[in-house]
């Protein structure tokens, strides 16, 4: 609860900073939105509507008042309420980030465990080399390679959009196409959505995935030397059980912490992958609104990212507390 309280102040501070920065960037947002040839009356009307003719603290007051009413203003880029844009584009990015996160968690842990289990063998060496490559290669480079590979040579996975033309989208319940397809029993759309997700999620996840693998490996090797593991082995407990029950759980604590941070940054960093795969997500939308000085949308996108980051951090703290009894004991003052 205390963390939650702090988060409110963090978000408020973030809103002030972003609000000021968005307005200090050179250029008239109204003119940028309406184009150089729009009539002066139209530009002035838009400036008045955005309260740009008032001092910045008054503008902030109006903005904050609207936000408390659930109104983030109107996007100058899409010409509709920002809240509608966020509703439309956030699920696409969340879905992408969730699948990328899933790849990172499953394959990162799997490779980490394999690497630790077979430390200093060829298996470990191969995984380590792959990890260096994966971490060093930016997601957009991976995306381009995958697009060229699967788009031009092995046409297995689609390279643009979320759904193929001709496939009817499931009724919108959550905005996550896979989940909506599943809930509505639209198996064709489910398979098609999964196919569309595969390449962008893979490109986005590779860096984090190998980072998770490296951390898991290091943590497992460190814990393997601890007394409680030696004791378990001394009791004659089978090695598989030692790894799964005594070694794995404490070793993934640092991985989970990093995974949480990686997941939160995926949402902000996905823009190049979204751009390349023509993925209609919030990250790409965020970049587009920044390029057009769409002030209301910029602030809203940054705030949404801030909220996601905060929520994920709190969730990570809870998971880590569950995994690490020492934290729970400290919290209780024991």
Query: What's the token pair of residue 334?
Result: 């024991």
Helices (H), 225-294: 227-234, 239-241, 248-251, 253-269, 271-276, 282-291
Decide whether 54 or 195 has the Cβ nearer to another protein. Answer: 195
Q: Among 24, 55, 122, 152, which residue sits at the site for another protein (rule: CB under 8 A)?
A: 152
Shortest Cβ distance from residue 288 to another protein (Å)? 8
* Separation of alpha carbons 80 and 76, rounded Å: 8
* Separation of alpha carbons 299 and 18, rounded Å: 6
Shortest Cβ distance from residue 144 to another protein (Å)? 4
Should residue 24 be labelled a site residue for another protein when binding is judged by CB under 8 A? no
Query: What's the token pair of residue 112?
Result: 């980490």
Of 100, 21, 114, 117, the C-alpha closest to 274 is: 100
Should residue 31 be labelled a site residue for another protein when binding is judged by CB under 8 A? yes
- Give the contacts of 60 (CB within 8 A, at least 6 positions apart): 16, 19
**Residue 175, SS3?**
coil
In the window 49-78, what residues touch another protein (CB under 8 A)? Answer: 49, 77-78
Find the part of the chain contacting another protein (CB under 8 A) among 60-68, 128-136, 155-163, 209-217.
Answer: 155-163
- Give the contacts of 219 (CB within 8 A, at least 6 positions apart): 112, 250, 251, 252, 253, 254, 255
Should residue 155 be labelled a site residue for another protein when binding is judged by CB under 8 A? yes
Shortest Cβ distance from residue 181 to another protein (Å)? 13
Shortest Cβ distance from residue 195 to another protein (Å)? 6
Decide whether 187 or 228 has the Cβ nearer to another protein. Answer: 187
CA 132 to chain centroid: 22
Should residue 156 be labelled a site residue for another protein when binding is judged by CB under 8 A? yes
Of 302, 272, 301, the C-alpha closest to 89 is: 301
Decide whether 285 or 316 has the Cβ nearer to another protein. Answer: 285
Should residue 118 be labelled a site residue for another protein when binding is judged by CB under 8 A? no
Should residue 332 be labelled a site residue for another protein when binding is judged by CB under 8 A? no
Cβ proximity of 82 and 76 under 8 Å: no
Should residue 21 be labelled a site residue for another protein when binding is judged by CB under 8 A? no
* Separation of alpha carbons 21 and 15, rounded Å: 10
Decide whether 90 or 312 has the Cβ nearer to another protein. Answer: 90
Shortest Cβ distance from residue 326 to another protein (Å)? 30
Decide whether 39 or 68 has the Cβ nearer to another protein. Answer: 39
Should residue 285 be labelled a site residue for another protein when binding is judged by CB under 8 A? yes
Distances in whole angstroms, Cα of residue 22 to Cα of each of 16, 139, 150: 10, 27, 39
In the window 173-232, what residues touch another protein (CB under 8 A)? Answer: 191-192, 194-195, 198
Give me the residues that bind another protein (CB under 8 A), please: 25-28, 31-32, 34-39, 41-42, 45, 49, 77-80, 88-89, 143-144, 147-148, 151-152, 155-162, 164-165, 191-192, 194-195, 198, 275-278, 280-281, 284-285, 288, 293
């Amino acid at each position: 609860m205390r963390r939650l309280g702090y988060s409110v102040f963090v978000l408020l501070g973030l809103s002030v900073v972003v609000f000021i920065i968005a307005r200090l960037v050179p250029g008239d947002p109204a003119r940028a939105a309406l184009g150089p040839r729009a009539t002066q009356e139209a530009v002035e009307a838009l400036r008045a509507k955005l309260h740009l003719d008032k001092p910045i603290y008054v503008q902030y007051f109006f903005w904050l008042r609207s936000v408390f009413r659930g109104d983030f203003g109107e996007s100058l880029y899409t010409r509709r309420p920002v809240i509608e844009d966020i509703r439309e584009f956030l699920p696409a990015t969340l879905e992408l980030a969730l699948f990328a996160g899933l790849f990172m968690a499953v394959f990162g842990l799997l490779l980490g465990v394999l690497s630790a289990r077979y430390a200093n063998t060829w298996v470990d060496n191969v995984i380590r080399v792959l990890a260096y490559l994966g971490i060093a290669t930016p997601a957009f480079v991976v995306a381009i390679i995958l697009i060229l590979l699967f788009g031009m040579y092995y046409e297995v996975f689609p390279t643009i959009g979320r759904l193929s033309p001709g496939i009817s989208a499931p009724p919108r319940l959550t905005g996550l196409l896979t989940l909506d397809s599943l809930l509505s029993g639209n198996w064709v759309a489910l398979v098609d959505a999964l196919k569309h997700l595969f390449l962008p999620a893979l490109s986005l996840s590779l860096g984090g995935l190998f980072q998770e693998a490296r951390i898991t490996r290091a943590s497992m090797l460190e814990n393997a030397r601890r007394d409680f593991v030696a004791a378990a082995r001394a009791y004659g407990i089978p090695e598989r059980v030692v790894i799964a029950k005594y070694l794995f759980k404490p070793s993934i604590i640092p991985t989970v912490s990093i995974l949480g941070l990686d997941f939160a940054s995926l949402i902000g960093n996905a823009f190049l992958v979204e751009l390349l795969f023509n993925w209609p997500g919030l990250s790409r939308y965020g970049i587009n609104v920044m390029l057009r000085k769409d002030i209301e949308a910029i602030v809203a996108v940054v705030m949404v990212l801030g909220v996601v980051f905060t929520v994920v951090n709190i969730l990570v703290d809870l998971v880590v507390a569950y995994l690490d009894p020492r934290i729970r004991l400290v919290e209780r003052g024991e």
